[in-house]
Amino acid sequence: MERIAKKLEISRNTVYKYLEMTFDEASNSANSLSNRKKKLDPYRDQILSWLKEHPDFSSAQIEDKDHRDGSAGSSMISSDMGEYLLYRS
């Protein structure tokens, strides 16, 4: 289980959860993940605008810029932003 979890970059508990599901249940669950609303969706355009201006910005730098500009305030969290940028850009 540990090797599967590492390979898929998910927790062992998630591996066990999926193993207990039927194929259809697991497929539906995986498909629903891409349809979920993300915390940073309301700020997507602003984030992408900053990245066009500064393509070398890290997620922490974008968060700092956000705090200085007063756009989204504490709703941006660096770890969330890194994952968000991977899947939403």
Domain ranges of the chain: 2-35, 41-88
Is the model more confident about 22 or about 27? Answer: 22
pTM comes to 0.43
Q: Quick: pLDDT tens for 27-72.
A: 888 777 777 777 777 878 888 888 888 888 877 777 777 667 665 5
Give the H or E element holding residue 88.
helix 78-88
Reply yes or no on whether the pLDDT at 88 is more than 80.
Answer: no
Token readout for 75 is 């709703």
Copy the structure tokens of residue 76: 């941006």
User: How is residue 38 annotated by DSSP?
Assistant: P
| Residue-level pLDDT at 73 | 47
Distance in Å from the first CA to the final CA of the chain: 32
| pLDDT at 89 > cutoff 60 | no
Q: How many CA atoms lie within 13 A of 89 on its CB side?
A: 15
